[in-house]
Amino acid sequence: MITTEQRQSILDAVDTAFDEQVAFTSRLIAEPSLRGCESAAQEIMYQAMVERGLKADRWTLDPESLATHPGAGAVVVDYSQTPAVVGSYSPRTTGGRSLILNGHVDVVPVGRQELWSRSPWEPAIIDGWLHGRGAGDMKAGLAANLFAFDAVRNAGLLPTASIYIQSVPEEESTGNGTLAALQRGYTADAVLISEPTEGKLVRSHVGVIWFSVRLTGRAAHAFEMAAGSNAVDAAYAVITDLRELESEWNERAKDHEHFSETEHPVNFNVGLIEGGDWASSVPDWCEFTMRVAVLPGTSVEDAWAEINDTVQRSGRENPAVAGMEPTVTKSGFFADGYVLEEGSDAENGLSAAHAQATGKELETLIVPGYIDSRVYGLYTGTPSMVFGPVAEKLHGSDERVSLDSLREVTKTMALFIADWCGVEEA
């Protein structure tokens, strides 16, 4: 147990370094760590770990070893510029429980830049919000992992258990970054991921599958359209059939222990589509990529079988798809959902830290999106908590994170680190 005095010193230390924390977060936002381009932002993280005296480990994700894991996503991009970074803190004396602080460095594309009020890569503070692509999702959290850890030491205390600060890529597409950290041997007694969660603790999140469907038709001149077979029309037909599966899964969600109250928790998103070569030719190919959510309790394998059945049935029975023999391939996430079981010591510790830092009870949240907590949660049975700041417009334009909430979250995290890992006077 930490003393009231120590607790106050930790909270004060967060306040003292908060401007520096925001400046560091801004530096991270200014690096466009889009998929496959994470190296520069990871260099900042790596140096920050070295400066803190952590043992810094940096490696490039290896598609071959990832492929041996059932929870790995399909690798369809080059990983040569996709490093993961972990900073390890080793205690002087051991007593407490070890902890992984995890965050992802990758950000999603900005979309149409003209929808942004300012450059997504030029962070700015406006009315207490820090703006920029990745501000909320999740460079604020990534930096908070470091600064929460700092606060404990700046308060003159040393954690008495190992702490691993993970900065991973690939959270937005496969989950392979955190999976690679697990494969590299990093484990702990609890995991805390500082994704933007409105200052709440995630009770459950869905799994996600990415897949592509390719349809091949027969080209013909548009003036004799009936002589060809139109792969773009066929793609629409397959998408319509998949929408029926989506409705069925949402119907099932109405009885789900955690998702029954969530409005339309299962979303099938057609995120990409391309096809055809010429406006006056019947298109003889079309390919679309879809993201679907899988409720916890349904295995990703079973969900995958249903998706395949639906597409194959379209191929057999839907007249618009006749003769096309649609193929389905995995193209990213192949991840199960996760439920943080109630009543773990880790959750109790975080709740207590939250109450001490904010005076408020820690609420929980159900998330119809993917989070990396499933990695340690499912494959090592480690309680994996997701808790982070209030942010808006994630994956949209004018993304922003609330600095007041970031400060509160950092304080909660710092107190949790001290309580969970234990502390001794430096």
Which residues sit at the interface with Zn ion, rule CB under 5 A? 137-138, 195
CA distance 119 to 124: 10
Q: Are strands 190-193 and 384-386 parallel, antiparallel or unpaired?
A: parallel
Q: Which is nearer to Zn ion, 138 or 293 (CB)?
A: 138
Q: Which is nearer to Zn ion, 138 or 266 (CB)?
A: 138
Checking 307-312 for CB contacts under 8 A at 24+ apart, the result is 307/209, 307/211, 307/242, 307/245, 310/241, 310/242, 310/244, 310/245, 311/213, 311/238, 311/241, 311/242
CA distance 385 to 368: 16
The torsion region of residue 274 among left (phi > 0), alpha (psi -120 to 50) and beta comes to: beta
Sign of CA dihedral 286, 291, 296, 299: positive
Peptide bond into 138 cis (omega under 30): yes
CA distance 156 to 240: 61
CB of 121 to Zn ion, least distance (A): 18
CB of 61 to Zn ion, least distance (A): 17
Q: Which is nearer to Zn ion, 61 or 138 (CB)?
A: 138
Please give the full DSSP string across 179-227, using - where no structure is assigned. Answer: HHHHHTT---SEEEE----TT-EEEEE-EEEEEEEEEE-B--BGGGGGG
CB of 370 to Zn ion, least distance (A): 8
Q: Which is nearer to Zn ion, 138 or 191 (CB)?
A: 138
Q: Which is nearer to Zn ion, 195 or 419 (CB)?
A: 195
Q: Which is nearer to Zn ion, 172 or 241 (CB)?
A: 172
CB of 401 to Zn ion, least distance (A): 12
CB of 137 to Zn ion, least distance (A): 4
CB 106 within 8 A of CB 34: yes
Say if residue 202 is exposed, middle or buried (CB neighbours under 10 Å; 0-12, 13-18, 19+): buried
CB 388 within 8 A of CB 381: no
Q: Which is nearer to Zn ion, 207 or 315 (CB)?
A: 207
Q: Which is nearer to Zn ion, 145 or 230 (CB)?
A: 145
CB of 138 to Zn ion, least distance (A): 4
CB of 35 to Zn ion, least distance (A): 13
CB of 222 to Zn ion, least distance (A): 44
H/E run at residue 290: strand 285-294
CB of 106 to Zn ion, least distance (A): 8
Phi, psi of 203 (to 5 degrees): -80, -40
**In the numeric block, which tokens belong to residue 379?**
């494959």
CB of 201 to Zn ion, least distance (A): 16
CB of 8 to Zn ion, least distance (A): 32
CB 55 within 8 A of CB 87: yes
CA distance 216 to 228: 11
Q: Which is nearer to Zn ion, 73 or 159 (CB)?
A: 73
If you compute the radius of gyration of the chain from its CA atoms, what whole number of angstroms results? 23
Q: Which is nearer to Zn ion, 76 or 394 (CB)?
A: 394
Angstrom distances, CA of residue 79 to CA of 36, 62, 201: 6, 7, 32
Q: Residue of minimal CB distance from Zn ion?
A: 137
Three-state DSSP at 241 gives helix
**In the numeric block, which tokens belong to residue 225?**
């359209």
Bridge partners, residue 54, by sequence: none
Q: Which is nearer to Zn ion, 231 or 391 (CB)?
A: 391
